[in-house]
Structure 1
Amino acid sequence: LMHFADELQCQRDFQSLMLYLQRLPTQRWGNDDVQMVLAEAFRLKFLFFYAPKHLDYRKKDTA
């Protein structure tokens, strides 16, 4: 999504945004582009794998 951030922010409404996300312009991507996306996904997977509570947004009861 970061790769398409500028285009995503230009979408007028939710429906346009969803239509754009369903047909991302990746037709001209080469091996380097795919490798970069996979490397970033792998990095994020292991970054958050060891910190699952970091993504838990629910409030904890302190009483």
Structure 2
Amino acid sequence: GKSVDIRNIPGPLGVRGRNSDNRLIEEKLGWAPSQSLRQGMVITYEWIMSEIQRSHNQR
């Protein structure tokens, strides 16, 4: 293993630090997400789980 120093930093303050508002990028660049946040979270979770499984299978 590796020894690392743990440093606590202040987290996000208020709602601004926790929410995503894509209105400005859509207004300025015409970009909008191709899927909902929920869909993205499901896809990300499934990918993480498959990577963990792959890592365990390589041992």
Task: State the TM-score, normalized to the length of structure 1.
Answer: 0.37
Determine which structure has more spread, i.e. the larger CA radius of gyration. 2
With normalisation by structure 2, the TM-score equals 0.40
Which has the larger share of helix? 1
